[in-house]
Copies of this chain bind each other. A is one copy, B any other.
Amino acid sequence: MMKIKISLSVLLFLMLLLIGCSKKVEEPKRNPLPSWNEGTTKTSIINFVKDVTDKNSPNYVEPEERIAAFDNDGNLWSEQPMYFQLFFTIDRVKALAAKHPEWKKEQPFKAVLENDMKTLVASGEHGLLKLVMATHAGMTTTEFERIVKNWVATAKHPRFERSFTDLVYQPMLELLDYLRANEFKTFIVSGGGIEFMRPLTSGLYGIPPEQVVGSSIKTKFEIIDGEPQIIRLPEIDFIDDKAGKPIGIHKFIGRKPIFASGNSDGDLQMLQYTASNKMKSFMLYLHHTDAEREWAYDRESHIGRLGKGLDEAKAKGWTVIDMKNDWKVIYPFQ
């Protein structure tokens, strides 16, 4: 056999390059989901992923069909004591109040300005819509993005006295990473405003704007002083909730997911739609059972109500996360 001499440093260099090359292939095999306690929930997720990514399995799914859809509020970050976008809306009403003296007499603006939550809640969906239109429309999309980013940079959650963006679920961040390491394409499919989420999702979840589906208001295109602008109009375009979720998935993604994750009855149709996939699919509900570290709520909650979904999960054998027992930590800062 022919032998040649090579310096150790050259050999080490070659081997280091090889390690660099193989890193991507190795990653998925490292201990996935470290913040999840061992148990049936974690096992069922891992078994599903192994099954659909194993080329020798009858349930193998091609990478391009590995679509995973995640609800956002109460599923990737908290939603109590009210949706974070509602905190934003209330802060915007207060910030804009000086320019709208009429709001002192007009409901539900008056209730917001007087911190009268009871009247605000009583104004219902119609009242809420008025607040959203007054605060989310009438500016360019660029300006709205700036407003959202500025708010997020300073606003604090009342219970934790931390940024709202700190209140993302560490175990779900790991789940998103784990799925992506297994060539899943991860999407958000949320009832929240698409333009409220998009400036945040890349940084928070590694999900780019083009993989965010949400509720929207209408817009128009205009050239203002030679500059093309998209202007936000005070008119609902699409509500991405309940039966709207499969419609939003079909409209924006155009394929049926094989993995869907939600936490409320508003996610039920998305899970049903995913369950109807001819390919093997996985339906995951997050049950908020941890009043101490987060919140505990389900059938009787006004926000994130989960009743029908729990029943259907039980009947169909879907996986339900018991937050208190399945998660070692809730938030990354804990």
A residues apposed to B, CB below 8 Å: 1-9, 11, 14-15, 17-18, 20-21, 64, 67, 141, 185, 194-195, 198, 202, 208-212, 216, 219-221, 223, 227-228, 230, 237, 243-244, 246-247, 250-255, 269, 272-273, 275-276
CA distance A256 to B67 in the complex (A): 24
A6 in complex: contacting residue of B4, B17, B212, CB < 8 Å: B4
Looking at the complex, which one of B8, B202, B273 makes contact with A2 (CB distance below 8 Å)? B8
For residue A211, which residues in chain B have a CB less than 8 angstroms away from its CB? 210
What's the least CB distance linking A281 to chain B, in Å?
Answer: 12
* A220 and B247 within 8 A (CB): yes
14 further contact pairs, Cβ within 8 A, besides A208-B255, A227-B276: A2-B7, A2-B8, A3-B7, A5-B5, A17-B18, A18-B18, A64-B208, A67-B210, A141-B250, A194-B254, A212-B254, A221-B244, A230-B246, A230-B250
Contact B18 A223 (CB under 8 A): no
Whether B8 contacts A3 by the Cβ 8 Å rule is yes
In the complex, what residue of chain B is closest to A211 when comparing beta carbons? Answer: B210
| Cα–Cα distance between A296 and B221 once the two chains are bound (Å) | 31
What is the CA–CA distance of A21 and B237 in the complex, to the nearest angstrom? Answer: 47
Q: List residues of chain B with CB within 8 A of the CB of A3.
A: 5-8
For A18, the chain B residues whose CB sits under 8 A away are 14, 17-18, 21
User: Would A251 and B219 be within 8 Å (CB), given that A208-B64, A228-B273 are in contact?
Assistant: yes
Nearest residue (CB) in B for A227 is B276
Query: Among the interface residues A21, A141, A228, which one has the most CB atoms of the partner chain B within 10 A?
Result: A228
With A216-B251, A272-B223: A1-B9 Cβ-Cβ less than 8 Å: yes
| 8 cross-chain pairs, A with B, having the tightest CB-CB distances, nearest first | A209-B254, A21-B21, A221-B243, A228-B276, A210-B253, A198-B254, A221-B246, A228-B273
Distance in angstroms between the alpha carbons of A6 and B6 in the assembled complex: 7
Copies in the complex: 2
Interface centre among A1, A15, A230 (most CB of B within 10 A): A230
Given known A-B contacts A208-B64, A247-B220, A276-B227, A17 and B7 have beta carbons under 8 A apart: no
Asked if B221 contacts A247 (CB within 8 A), the reply is yes
Nearest B residue to A212, CB-CB: B254
B219, A253: Cβ atoms closer than 8 Å = no
Query: What distance in Å separates the Cβ of A47 from its nearest Cβ neighbour in chain B?
Result: 25
CA distance A9 to B20 in the complex (A): 22
30 residue pairs bridging A and B, Cβ less than 8 Å apart: A2-B7, A3-B6, A3-B8, A4-B6, A4-B7, A4-B8, A5-B5, A5-B6, A6-B6, A6-B11, A14-B15, A17-B18, A17-B21, A67-B210, A141-B250, A194-B251, A208-B255, A209-B254, A210-B253, A212-B254, A216-B251, A219-B250, A219-B251, A221-B243, A221-B269, A221-B273, A227-B276, A228-B273, A228-B276, A252-B252
